[in-house]
Structure 1
């Protein structure tokens, strides 16, 4: 199990790199996993549990927290493992579903100049957008209109400063990239994040949302040198793939 987990982590490519000091300690760092499970494909709520791989097994860290996912549930996404051919829905742009699967965790982002996290952090400005236009050459990338030009972000519905563009919306005040669709395949789904939620139980357009306290704790815990993983799976699919994917053994009732 340990060999599998370390090999999987070493094979990942993240959006941003760790610092030299982070890389120097790679061999001694225990892999981290953020696991979200839901009742079924159409559930809009889930449970998030953190895990640390130690002593040859995944150990739960902290208490589980409630999260919200896509307004239409989940669908198989494009990540580190191929989706099983089990007849489940496939993630598409605009479908209102969160991608299911196993993914790398990328850069953290937010409204402030800094954040309490060891992850690479990118402060967002009024000119930052995530491009959700499938025929754009910048599809599924966060860009700065000051660099790429105003025409390049035309049509995007994902301004990263939602407080400035969407009546004070706080949801992107803190978050991080979930590396779904790393090849940026047009129409396969874009701009997948973990971010804050405005109210308990409010579903998302396809991201994973949580309250402020849960996000603060999660960002403070994540370490880039651990090459952390993010998994989201309905319970039946979790039971089907956990062993092959090297995930924690499901608890009774999951």
Structure 2
């Protein structure tokens, strides 16, 4: 497989993008080809960056195409619901993640196209976001230091390939 400099190539050793190596954390379930909701795994495959969300009260807009995270923004992780694996607004009766968090993990969020069709049980909310601390695993996302995430957000374009192997 050939890669473009605009591709994000993720392995267990980190992420390579635009000639730079960015240390990152992956899901506590490792990298898996058979990703399921709640398994904590980062899914193998070729994914696309389909959106960017940011907290305008905490960070400057990283790119013109980034959308603000508003109070009441949620992400549905309720398998079997029509809005599964998509942005929803409060009040939302089913299981979800709050996007406007008290901690800084979702100050910038790069959204991937993983399971964008909302296939029940296939996993949801596979994002690139800030890490808690070095080496601390995620629930399936890819997480970076704040400085690396800001750099990545300023350089990435919508549609960029995230290749997880």
Question: Normalization by structure 2: what TM-score?
Answer: 0.90
Does structure 1 residue 179 correspond to structure 2 residue 113?
Answer: yes
Does structure 1 residue 49 correspond to structure 2 residue 11?
Answer: no
Deviation at 1:37, TM superposition (A): 0.6
Structure number with larger C-alpha Rg? 1
8 A contact 2:25–2:144 mirrored in 1: yes
Deviation at 1:31, TM superposition (A): 6.8
The 4+ residue runs of structure 1 with deviation greater than 4 A are none
2:70 maps to which of 115, 125, 134 = 125
Deviation at 1:220, TM superposition (A): 1.1
Unmatched segments (≥5 aa) in structure 1:
6-29, 39-45, 52-60, 77-89, 164-168, 234-254
What corresponds to 2:160 in structure 1? 228
Question: Normalization by structure 1: what TM-score?
Answer: 0.60
Unmatched segments (≥5 aa) in structure 2:
none
Aligned residues between the structures: 163
Q: Which has the higher helix share?
A: 1
Mapping 1:111-122, distance limit 5 Å:
111-112=55-56, 114-118=60-64, 120-122=65-67
1:159 maps to which of 81, 93, 98 = 98
Task: Give the RMSD, CA atoms, in angstroms.
Answer: 1.9
Whose relative contact order is higher, 1 or 2, with alpha carbons under 8 Å and at least 6 apart?
2
Deviation at 1:122, TM superposition (A): 1.5
Distance 1:144 1:111, change over 3 A: same
What corresponds to 1:135 in structure 2? 80
